Amino acid sequence: MSLTHIHVPYDGPAIICDTLVWYKNLPEGFKDKNKLAATWLSVYELFKSSDRTVGVILNSWEKIRDNSIYIIPLSPEQHYHFYLHNREVLNPEIFEQQKETLGRYNWIIEKKRKNELPDEQWQQFENEARGIKTEYDSSVKDWIDVNINDFKISERSTYQKEEDYRNMRSKKRAELTAPEGIQWHLHYITMPLIISFLTNVAFKDIEEFDTDDFAQFELFTHVFNQWLIDLDIDNIKAEVNDLVDVFNMIYVRPIDKYWTEEKQWVKRIKKVGMEHYLFDPKNL
């Protein structure tokens, strides 16, 4: 089957899917198949060839291809610029390149499914996918370490007495669970961090920004903010997979729904008052 639904811009409401949705069968009687949308990050996660068996790759890609109304071919960074600049900044060559790559992957998978693909071609595909994974994972890990994990280590080192450190954390917990503290964190910590990631500009160099630019991404910004707060007050180390999970929400527009069954994200979405975005397949 050829790919005819990789496109931007796209209009009308959709159900943006968490990556794990594509690893299992749709519920019996599912009526919203014509609204499901897959993201670049879901495809990226799927083709982590070193982490997936051949069967999982084949089955999951076929579910994405056959059950989605469209596949968004843009990375979070590209998607952000696409909307921020009214769809004018995106180089058409980027879209065509992504479309060509996914079309080639689809051809390879079809040939593999039919046992018509030489082993060396599948190995080349796995090596290419592994290279994309390694490069992106490495850049995400570097960003997390510099902007989140290393900062927490530095913060801890400023307190010589354990009691002083515990008092600081107790005070911070109280501040970051209060409504005004949550809003302060969103504006002065989370938004600059998001811009830093999406624009490759150092956090310390982020000065002024227009919050209206992010109205399109309200689910993402508020859940990202809550995730950072949770990391801070619970003293948890940030992981690459979690950052990838939360950035998958950047594709969700105010007219869309988001389908995830991961409890930590459902909990955070409800906690920030965005439960109206959640798609529940049980309520068919």
* SS percent in the chain: helix, strand, coil, step 5: 65, 5, 30
Q: State which H helix or E strand residue 67 sits in.
A: helix 54-67
Residue type, 264: Q
3-7, 110-114, 161-165, 275-279: segment of lowest average pLDDT: 3-7
What residues form DSSP beta bridges with 36? 15
Q: What is the pLDDT of residue 90?
A: 56
pLDDT digits (tens, 9 = 90+) for 62-100: 888 888 888 888 888 888 877 766 555 556 677 778 888
Domain ranges of the chain: 15-277
Decide if pLDDT at 1 tops 70. no
CA distance 114 to 118: 11
Tell me how crowded residue 116 is: count the other CB atoms within 10 A of its CB: 9
* Higher pLDDT pick, 49 / 240: 240
Query: Which residues, other chains included, contact 237 with Cβ-Cβ below 8 Å and sequence gap of 6+?
Result: 149, 152, 231
In this structure, the strands spanning 257-259 and 15-17 are parallel
Q: pLDDT tens-digit profile of 103-152? A: 888 999 999 999 999 999 999 988 888 888 788 888 888 888 888 877 66
**Which pLDDT value is given to residue 7?**
54
Q: What is the pLDDT of residue 164?
A: 66
Question: DSSP assignment, residue 278?
Answer: B
Lowest mean pLDDT among 1-5, 95-99, 256-260: 1-5
Structure tokens at 99: 């479309």
pLDDT at 261 over 70: yes
CA–CA separation, 50 vs 139, rounded Å? 18
How confident is the model at residue 269, as a pLDDT?
98
Give the neighbor-by-neighbor strand order of the sheet with 15-17: 70-71, 36-38, 15-17, 257-259
* 98 vs 13: which has the higher pLDDT: 13
- What pLDDT does 213 receive? 72
Confidence (pLDDT) at 47: 74
Q: What is the pLDDT of residues 185-201, one digit of tens each?
A: 898 889 888 888 888 77
On the question of pLDDT at 277 being above 90, the answer is yes
pTM of the prediction?
0.87
Q: Residues 192, 207: contact at Cβ < 8 Å? A: no
Q: Does the structure show a pLDDT above 90 at 9?
A: no
- What pLDDT, on the 0 to 100 scale, is given for residue 136? 83
Contact assessment for residue 250 and residue 7, using Cβ atoms and an 8 Å cutoff: no
> pLDDT of 190-233, one tens digit each?
988 888 888 877 777 777 677 777 888 999 999 999 999 998 88
| 126-137 burial code (b ≥16 CB/10 A, e <16) | bebbeeebeebe
Query: What pLDDT is recorded for position 65?
Result: 87
